[in-house]
Amino acid sequence: MAVIEELIRTENNETLSFGNYKLAAKSKLDNFEFGGDLYKVKTFKEITKLERNGMFVYESVPGTTVSQLHVTDRGIEFNVEGPEDAQITLELEEQAEYQVLVGGTSVGNMKTNLGGKLSLSVELNEDAPVAVKIEKA
């Protein structure tokens, strides 16, 4: 997988890919339409953030590249790549429990807070995408 030069794009399998952790300066793209929703991405080497209809979806520190993002009513799954380990925060259902798999390995169940946020750390190496799957327990 490579960085997303256009910042965000739709894939052939109806998923989203976004982010460019190689950018030295902040870049953003607003009003990207996908599935009837409007997305906004902000990305560069220090942070990558995705919003849908003005609401938080994804954030990573430092910046990452995400491919094949697929959100359902049961959870979220995607592949993530970056130059170093990243702290990822996702917006899910409030106070719900989710099973978290990173690289195909279960890291256990995690519960979202009152705002529906779930944070996890992912060990990353450049040019080696890691699969993340979070599904309601």
User: Is-cis flag, bond preceding 129, omega within 30?
Assistant: no
Q: Which fold has domain 8-136?
A: Chondroitinase Ac; Chain A, domain 3 (2.60.220)
Task: Spell out the residues 6+ positions from residue 24 whose beta carbon is closer than 8 angstroms to its own.
Answer: 44, 45
**Distance (Å, whole) CA 64 – CA 83:** 8
Q: Where are the alpha helices (DSSP H) in the chain?
A: none
Tens of pLDDT along the chain (137 residues)?
678 889 999 999 999 999 999 999 999 999 999 999 999 999 999 999 999 999 999 999 999 999 999 999 999 999 999 999 999 999 999 999 999 999 999 999 999 999 999 999 999 988 899 999 999 99
Q: Where are the domains positioned within the chain? A: 8-136
